[in-house]
Chain A
């Protein structure tokens, strides 16, 4: 069928005719972990993704009657189930994949590259995959953990200065928790602050040992680097140890649920955000109107507009935009043309839901811009503008790490 379609298309092109192309159904594989480790984010994140795709179809975002379908499967964070789900979705025609799981992404990255399928790793996965020359088919899409650490450090600089200050980084003892290490080392030298790392054991239900050490260190700022249930424990234990909420700065994984778990003490805690929270955005409003109110929502209506929901919406908004641009060049959309579509995106901001992103063949991170927001007791309020922090340093770290990867393989 595909062959025939290709043949027909080629003939039409050769003849210089504008042949009517059959409407196409673009398939995205959202093969995520709904049941094991990433449950704190997957439900809302995936709901946002599915709702956005429903909106895109309702509005005909891809034009020419083209539609986009999500293939959603649970992988339970197990690589062997992820591989099965990937192979099956690939056979069903999916050309873009989002696993939202480090072990599954790691096990499939090479295969997907070989198959020329796009893998998006928003807010998870390897930071050096931002180098599109080494990882042509991987799109981290949103600021990497390195860019997030840089943004939080820059925010500390603008609010209270950094010189001679002490920063404690309290992180989960895993490769993810160690990600900001190199950035902090480089920035400590440049900005003349000192920092110390305080790891706690996974999954982080109990962190008192680490925090009593932190109290002895008397930090001026605290960075918390964890995910899921451990984050609320971090904030709570920090406050118990005499750290003011205003001093606490978190990685992207701190959301409304955590605030509810911590309670009123949470007021003043800051976090990095790659997409705006809340329902006060044109896209979210239209989802509410055309998807949720039409009874086509993918889950609990209460989730609409919260941080992870909006994050999911933003990932699919970018992906659909890439598919639209990819389809513009004509012909059935493949992994290759979708990748080209991504690299045509310039200054896209999902109608204000996220900072303008621009992807190039070299930069698959999209610039790395984000901002810091603060919990005001009810919602997240932005306290800085969208911007990329220390972009040269981040670019250099990405480049070095990717070059090391390329040299090893």
Chain B
């Protein structure tokens, strides 16, 4: 009723290959995109600057990581380091006089090359061993950034981003910074939806499911894994640069620490591995739930509802947040994306009960 059809029935390969198999989905996404584009007009600066903007950027980061973890099945626990490389590279490139547009691409390439080198070293190992190898990358990059003043920006290790413009639009006002971040996130989203339909995307999935079986059917595991690391690190590097220029505007090594890598993994897992909408929902949940809960609990405390010490008050949101993650994963191990999918399927055929996807 809501989707104006009862299940999906394709009568041609053309229809089966379409990105939006149901018109309603397409309209929904276009509607959301228009809302997102116009957000600076109707969202207050507080919410745009501290909720929507970081959400968009972290969604791009989660999309970059889910390409590697969800599609190619390669665990990566050092993705914040990849973003750090992109952020620091872009700032130093812009300071060296390279136009911002090119610096963005170059910083992505630098992150991709370094990421692929570590990925290459990690290719001989799988699963938990790969986790250890990527952790090593996290700590090595941290160490290099902290210990080389030329990179970190000297004794105080804070590097401010220079003023830049992107295609003649000065990246200064909140709206401009938001639009640039949105453009990058939308680009990644479109890329991700389409990469699943290419031979590269199918090769990634084959590697994820069983790499020697993939080799048997003619997918070169070495090349494909390396490509996965390269692509994902490129996306992560540019996202790091966007994060630095559009959101933080001053970078310190702590902003890309190990805990950030874990947050990124949590975004991907809570959202749902390898899913576009999962990356968006996961990033939103992991990033914003603690903030909402902190404000909620503080509000309740101010109203005299929870008379407790500041220390407990600060930990209470984290306890609720932890319980929520466990709750969601118990309810639906495939993540928030699957929960959305269940709801969508229910309404697809409502008022009837069973749907074929």
Contact A46 B310 (CB under 8 A): yes
Q: List 10 A-B contacts (CB under 8 A).
A: A35-B315, A72-B310, A74-B313, A80-B58, A84-B54, A102-B254, A107-B255, A175-B155, A299-B310, A401-B155
Q: Which of B136-162 contact A (CB under 8 A)?
A: 143, 146-147, 152, 154-158, 160
Chain A residues contacting B49 (CB-CB under 8 Å) are 83, 87
Partner of B156, one of A79, A91, A128, A181: A128
Contact B294 A88 (CB under 8 A): no
Q: A34-B310, A34-B311, A110-B160 are in contact. Are A79 and B248 (CB under 8 A)?
A: yes
* Chain A residue nearest to B45 in the complex (CB): A87
Q: Which of B265-317 contact A (CB under 8 A)?
A: 287, 290-291, 294-295, 298, 309-311, 313-315, 317
Q: A87-B45, A174-B146 are in contact. Are A79 and B315 (CB under 8 A)?
A: no
Measured in the bound complex, the distance between the Cα atoms of B160 and A408 in whole Å is: 9
Does residue B196 face the partner (Cβ distance < 8 Å to A)? no
Measured in the bound complex, the distance between the Cα atoms of B249 and A127 in whole Å is: 20
Contact A409 B160 (CB under 8 A): yes
Does residue B122 face the partner (Cβ distance < 8 Å to A)? no
Contact A80 B314 (CB under 8 A): no
Contact B255 A74 (CB under 8 A): no
Does residue A47 face the partner (Cβ distance < 8 Å to B)? yes
Chain A residues contacting B58 (CB-CB under 8 Å) are 80
Instruction: Give the shortest distance, in Å, between B39 (CB) and chain A (any CB).
Output: 16
Contact B315 A34 (CB under 8 A): yes
Per-position 1/0 for A104-117, Cβ under 8 A of B = 00110111000000
Instruction: Give the shortest distance, in Å, between A214 (CB) and chain B (any CB).
Output: 20
Chain A residues contacting B160 (CB-CB under 8 Å) are 110, 408-409
Chain A residues contacting B294 (CB-CB under 8 Å) are 73-74, 81, 85
Measured in the bound complex, the distance between the Cα atoms of B116 and A352 in whole Å is: 60
**Residue of A106, A178, A179, A298 contacting most chain B CB atoms (<10 Å):** A106
Per-position 1/0 for B39-63, Cβ under 8 A of A = 0000001100111001000100000
Which size bracket describes the interface of A in this complex? Answer: 35 or more
Instruction: Give the shortest distance, in Å, between A148 (CB) and chain B (any CB).
Output: 15
Chain B residues contacting A84 (CB-CB under 8 Å) are 50-51, 54, 291
Measured in the bound complex, the distance between the Cα atoms of B188 and A273 in whole Å is: 52
Does residue A29 face the partner (Cβ distance < 8 Å to B)? no
Chain B residues contacting A107 (CB-CB under 8 Å) are 248-250, 252, 255
Q: A107-B248, A107-B250 are in contact. Are A87 and B291 (CB under 8 A)?
A: no
Does residue B247 face the partner (Cβ distance < 8 Å to A)? yes
Contact A76 B290 (CB under 8 A): yes
Contact B250 A74 (CB under 8 A): no
Measured in the bound complex, the distance between the Cα atoms of B156 and A179 in whole Å is: 8
Contact B311 A299 (CB under 8 A): yes
Contact B146 A80 (CB under 8 A): no
Chain A residues contacting B247 (CB-CB under 8 Å) are 80, 83
Per-position 1/0 for A205-223, Cβ under 8 A of B = 0000000000000000000
Q: A34-B311, A46-B310, A299-B310 are in contact. Are A87 and B46 (CB under 8 A)?
A: yes
Does residue B93 face the partner (Cβ distance < 8 Å to A)? no
Chain A residues contacting B290 (CB-CB under 8 Å) are 76, 81
Does residue B318 face the partner (Cβ distance < 8 Å to A)? yes
Contact A106 B250 (CB under 8 A): yes
Contacts A87-B45, A106-B158, A299-B310 given; 4 further ones with Cβ under 8 A?
A: A77-B254, A80-B287, A107-B250, A128-B156
Q: Which of B1-60 contact A (CB under 8 A)?
A: 45-46, 49-51, 54, 58
Per-position 1/0 for B306-335, Cβ under 8 A of A = 000111011101100000000000000000
Measured in the bound complex, the distance between the Cα atoms of B313 and A181 in whole Å is: 39
Chain B residues contacting A72 (CB-CB under 8 Å) are 298, 310
Chain B residues contacting A181 (CB-CB under 8 Å) are 155
**Residue of B51, B157, B253, B314 contacting most chain A CB atoms (<10 Å):** B314
Chain A residues contacting B314 (CB-CB under 8 Å) are 34-35, 74
Chain B residues contacting A174 (CB-CB under 8 Å) are 146
* Chain B residue nearest to A91 in the complex (CB): B46
Does residue A280 face the partner (Cβ distance < 8 Å to B)? no
Q: Which residues of B contact A (CB under 8 A)?
A: 45-46, 49-51, 54, 58, 143, 146-147, 152, 154-158, 160, 247-255, 259, 287, 290-291, 294-295, 298, 309-311, 313-315, 317-318
Measured in the bound complex, the distance between the Cα atoms of B49 and A155 in whole Å is: 48
Measured in the bound complex, the distance between the Cα atoms of B290 and A85 in whole Å is: 12
Contact B158 A87 (CB under 8 A): no
Q: Which of A259-311 contact B (CB under 8 A)?
A: 298-300
Measured in the bound complex, the distance between the Cα atoms of B171 and A312 in whole Å is: 38
Measured in the bound complex, the distance between the Cα atoms of B311 and A196 in whole Å is: 39
Chain B residues contacting A111 (CB-CB under 8 Å) are 249
Chain B residues contacting A46 (CB-CB under 8 Å) are 310
* Chain B residue nearest to A83 in the complex (CB): B50
Does residue A336 face the partner (Cβ distance < 8 Å to B)? no
Does residue A347 face the partner (Cβ distance < 8 Å to B)? no
* Chain A residue nearest to B58 in the complex (CB): A80
Chain A residues contacting B291 (CB-CB under 8 Å) are 81, 84
Does residue A50 face the partner (Cβ distance < 8 Å to B)? yes
Contact B310 A298 (CB under 8 A): yes
Measured in the bound complex, the distance between the Cα atoms of B54 and A83 in whole Å is: 10
* Chain B residue nearest to A298 in the complex (CB): B310
Measured in the bound complex, the distance between the Cα atoms of B149 and A166 in whole Å is: 26
Does residue A173 face the partner (Cβ distance < 8 Å to B)? yes
Q: Which of A66-101 contact B (CB under 8 A)?
A: 72-74, 76-77, 79-81, 83-85, 87-88, 91
Does residue A171 face the partner (Cβ distance < 8 Å to B)? no
Measured in the bound complex, the distance between the Cα atoms of B253 and A111 in whole Å is: 19
Measured in the bound complex, the distance between the Cα atoms of B309 and A338 in whole Å is: 29
Contact A110 B250 (CB under 8 A): yes
Chain A residues contacting B255 (CB-CB under 8 Å) are 79, 103, 107
* Chain A residue nearest to B156 in the complex (CB): A126
Contact A175 B310 (CB under 8 A): no
Contact B156 A175 (CB under 8 A): yes
Contact B146 A110 (CB under 8 A): no
Does residue A65 face the partner (Cβ distance < 8 Å to B)? no
Instruction: Give the shortest distance, in Å, between B144 (CB) and chain A (any CB).
Output: 12
Measured in the bound complex, the distance between the Cα atoms of B159 and A133 in whole Å is: 20
Chain B residues contacting A35 (CB-CB under 8 Å) are 314-315, 318
Measured in the bound complex, the distance between the Cα atoms of B154 and A325 in whole Å is: 37
Measured in the bound complex, the distance between the Cα atoms of B49 and A83 in whole Å is: 8
